[in-house]
């Protein structure tokens, strides 16, 4: 006796896309979510809802928009984001590896998957606030990322869940998968545990794992990513503790992708250990601090340690969390002067943002108690100011080439002297977003064994797919990956369950 044709474990974006696709295939679908109803939706709920996909021009965006008559549209330059550019962006983080099969699928199905979501009532809005700057009366988008789901991550999850329930899907909260059931050959269900420890079997023809990576599990972080990673703050849900990956590996699944890699971002040093869904969703991202490209970052020894202006922040923010975590004491200061104050995102004006402020640079340095070597930070800032190329105009809408000259560690773009008070310094640490290593799936989303054969009845999607990201990440690719591989796994499991 089965409880559902298809069981989907998790209820984030990937799991929801899988559940919708499996319903479309005609399967009776039951989602099982570890969290209670409030925390259900996983990391997807914490996101800004931004999704990266291929488009040629504004006409490709219109069918996705909540308000295609937005009066700003005629004065907006969205540019284009070609498949080639997406490929180059991903290859830029591959450390010489060729494009993976997963990356090819992500690129090739990004646009049709966004359209599929829109057909299910999930609508999008241009990200004017964070992905465009105004120039000559026009909103100029940069970085290949233009749209986010209405009401960001919460809106995305709510809209996807509404679509799934409307199609007759079912969901159970407080149901943590603790084991996979097999009939000897195929996976035919899961064991779930309630918060009180009561265990129950749930039987099905197919199981889709959409239950995230291992970013919220300090033991697995240390095991796979490295020693200092037990210290990382977790930007999102406390529930992604890696059971999906571990249980599948226990059944002989292949370990796939870059297990040492993860997405990690500079975050407010004083944030709590996990993300906070209690605060209004538009403020949730505000523990993030990613305007380092407008200033400099120094560590406890008063040294800079990255090229803050290496690229648009979409292409650096997911790596710089790791760089911060690797500094002495696992923290750094981001230092800005008043020239860029208006350009700092809302997260720097957030009521809970921690910062020091002074009319003079010397006064600011005196306040940075955690900096062991104050003379060194003075020297670093003086050398930086002397190295700024004054001959090149500052322009945040492009990679302006306004760099430093003669420093051992350059700042390649947007380098302005830090010389106009008041000055501000924000303390940051590294916050892990999600992990890159995981399982391998075939073209139907079925989980592969070491010997390249699929494990019958077992499918996977979302963060727990390996091979999509290696040493970095172009912003907005995680949700698109979840949607592309979720839809694929839902199609695959739905087809299997209905034969």
Ligand X SMILES: Cc1cc2nc3c(=O)[nH]c(=O)nc-3n(C[C@H](O)[C@H](O)[C@H](O)COP(=O)(O)OP(=O)(O)OC[C@H]3O[C@@H](n4cnc5c(N)ncnc54)[C@H](O)[C@@H]3O)c2cc1C
Q: Which stretch binds ligand X (CB under 6 A): 42-50, 75-83, 97-105, 438-446?
A: 42-50
Kindly give, in sequence order, each residue whose CB lies less than 8 Å from that of residue 314, ignoring residues fewer than 6 positions away.
131, 143, 144, 145, 474, 475, 476
Nearest distance from residue 15's CB to ligand X, in Å? 5
Q: Which stretch binds ligand X (CB under 6 A): 57-65, 207-215, 254-262, 414-422?
A: 207-215
| Binder of ligand X out of 4, 20, 29, 34 (CB under 6 A) | 34
* Site membership for ligand X, residue 125 (CB under 6 A): no
Annotate each residue in 411-450 with x if it binds ligand X (CB under 6 A) or - if it does not, as one string.
----------------------xx----------------
How many chain residues touch ligand X (CB under 6 A)? 44
Nearest distance from residue 19's CB to ligand X, in Å? 11
| Binder of ligand X out of 8, 19, 49, 143 (CB under 6 A) | 49
| Binder of ligand X out of 44, 100, 286, 404 (CB under 6 A) | 44
CA atoms of 369 and 180, how far apart (whole Å): 51
Instruction: Count CB neighbours of 293 within 10 A.
Output: 26
Question: Which is nearer to ligand X, 243 or 337 (by Cβ)?
Answer: 243
For residues 159-178, which are near ligand X according to CB under 6 A? Answer: 176-177
Helices (H), 139-199: 152-166
* Site membership for ligand X, residue 46 (CB under 6 A): yes
Kindly give, in sequence order, each residue whose CB lies less than 8 Å from that of residue 146, ignoring residues fewer than 6 positions away.
55, 61, 78, 81, 126, 127, 131
* Site membership for ligand X, residue 245 (CB under 6 A): no
Q: Give per-residue burial for 314-340: e unless 16+ CB within 10 Å, then b.
A: bbbbbbbbbbbbebeebbbbbbbbeeb
* Site membership for ligand X, residue 330 (CB under 6 A): no
Q: Which residue is nearest to ligand X (CB)?
A: 12
| Binder of ligand X out of 466, 476, 490, 492 (CB under 6 A) | 476
| Binder of ligand X out of 8, 14, 90, 107 (CB under 6 A) | 14
CA atoms of 42 and 212, how far apart (whole Å): 8
Nearest distance from residue 236's CB to ligand X, in Å? 3
Annotate each residue in 213-242 with x if it binds ligand X (CB under 6 A) or - if it does not, as one string.
----------------------xxx-xx--
Question: Which is nearer to ligand X, 404 or 477 (by Cβ)?
Answer: 477
Nearest distance from residue 37's CB to ligand X, in Å? 11
CA atoms of 467 and 259, how far apart (whole Å): 10
| Binder of ligand X out of 6, 7, 48, 269 (CB under 6 A) | 48
Instruction: Count CB neighbours of 163 within 10 A.
Output: 20
**What is the Rg, in whole angstroms, of the alpha carbon atoms belonging to the chain?**
23
Three-state SS for 218? helix
Half-sphere CA count of 251, side-chain side, radius 13 A: 28
CA atoms of 438 and 121, how far apart (whole Å): 30
DSSP 193: E
Backbone angles phi, psi at 190, to 5 degrees: -135, 160
* Site membership for ligand X, residue 40 (CB under 6 A): yes
* Site membership for ligand X, residue 10 (CB under 6 A): yes
Annotate each residue in 177-206 with x if it binds ligand X (CB under 6 A) or - if it does not, as one string.
x-----------------------------
Q: Which of 76, 197, 44 is nearest to 146 (CA)?
A: 76
DSSP 464: G
CA atoms of 442 and 462, how far apart (whole Å): 14
Nearest distance from residue 285's CB to ligand X, in Å? 6
| Binder of ligand X out of 144, 430, 482, 490 (CB under 6 A) | 482
| Binder of ligand X out of 4, 15, 163, 269 (CB under 6 A) | 15
| Binder of ligand X out of 5, 7, 23, 47 (CB under 6 A) | 47
* Site membership for ligand X, residue 50 (CB under 6 A): yes
Nearest distance from residue 253's CB to ligand X, in Å? 15
Q: Is 486 left (phi over 0), alpha (psi -120 to 50) or beta?
A: alpha
Nearest distance from residue 247's CB to ligand X, in Å? 8
Nearest distance from residue 113's CB to ligand X, in Å? 12
DSSP 200: E
Pairing, β 176-182 against β 187-193: antiparallel
Q: Give per-residue burial for 212-231: e unless 16+ CB within 10 Å, then b.
A: bbbbbbbebbeebbeeebee
Q: Which of 383, 376, 390 is nearest to 406 (CA)?
A: 383
Residues of this chain that bind ligand X (CB under 6 A): 9-15, 32-35, 40-44, 46-51, 176-177, 210-212, 235-237, 239-240, 243, 275, 285, 433-434, 462-463, 476-479, 482
């Amino acid at each position: 006796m089965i409880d559902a044709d298809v069981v989907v474990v998790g209820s984030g974006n990937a799991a929801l896309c899988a559940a919708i696709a499996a319903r479309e295939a005609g399967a009776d679908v039951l989602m099982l979510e570890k969290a209670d109803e409030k925390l259900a939706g996983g990391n997807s709920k914490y996101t800004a809802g931004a999704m990266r996909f291929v488009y040629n021009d504004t006409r490709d965006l219109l069918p996705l928009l909540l308000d295609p008559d937005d009066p700003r549209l005629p004065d907006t330059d969205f540019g284009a984001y070609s498949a080639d550019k997406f490929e180059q962006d991903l290859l830029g983080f591959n450390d010489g590896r060729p494009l993976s099969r997963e990356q090819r699928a992500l690129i090739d199905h990004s646009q049709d998957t966004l359209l599929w979501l829109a057909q299910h009532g999930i609508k999008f809005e241009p990200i004017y606030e964070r992905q465009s700057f105004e120039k000559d009366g026009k909103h100029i988008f940069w970085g290949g990322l233009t749209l986010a789901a209405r009401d960001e991550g919460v809106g995305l999850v709510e809209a996807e869940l509404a679509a799934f329930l409307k199609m007759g899907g079912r969901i159970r909260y407080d149901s943590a998968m603790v084991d996979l059931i097999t009939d000897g050959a195929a996976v035919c269900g899961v064991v779930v545990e309630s918060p009180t420890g009561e265990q129950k079997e749930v039987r099905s023809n197919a199981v889709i794992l959409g239950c995230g990576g291992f970013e919220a599990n300090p033991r697995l972080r240390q095991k796979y990513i490295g020693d200092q990673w037990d210290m990382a703050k977790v930007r999102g849900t406390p529930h992604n503790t890696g059971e999906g990956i571990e249980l599948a590996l226990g059944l002989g699944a292949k370990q796939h992708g870059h297990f040492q890699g993860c997405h990690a971002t500079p975050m407010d040093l004083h944030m709590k250990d996990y993300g906070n869904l209690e605060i209004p969703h538009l403020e949730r991202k505000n523990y993030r601090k990613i305007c380092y490209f407008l200033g400099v970052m120094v560590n406890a020894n008063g040294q800079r340690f990255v090229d803050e202006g290496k690229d648009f922040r979409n292409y650096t923010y997911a790596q710089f969390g790791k760089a911060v975590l690797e500094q002495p004491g696992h923290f750094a200061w981001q230092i800005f002067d008043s020239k860029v104050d208006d350009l700092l995102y809302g997260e720097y004006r957030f009521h809970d943002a921690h910062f020091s402020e002074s009319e003079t640079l010397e006064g600011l340095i005196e306040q940075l108690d955690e900096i062991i070597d104050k003379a060194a930070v003075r020297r670093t800032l003086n050398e930086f100011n002397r190295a700024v190329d004054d001959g090149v105009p500052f322009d945040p809408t492009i990679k302006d080439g306004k760099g430093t000259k003669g420093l051992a560690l350059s700042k390649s773009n947007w380098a302005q002297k830090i010389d106009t008070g008041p000055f501000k310094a924000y303390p940051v640490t590294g916050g892990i977003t999600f992990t890159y290593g995981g399982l391998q799936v075939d073209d139907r989303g079925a989980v592969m064994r070491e010997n390249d054969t699929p494990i019958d009845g077992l499918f996977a999607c979302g963060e727990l797919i390996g091979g999509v990201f290696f040493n970095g990440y172009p912003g907005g690719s995680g949700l698109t990956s979840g949607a592309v591989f979720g839809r694929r796994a839902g199609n695959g499991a739905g087809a299997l369950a209905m034969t």
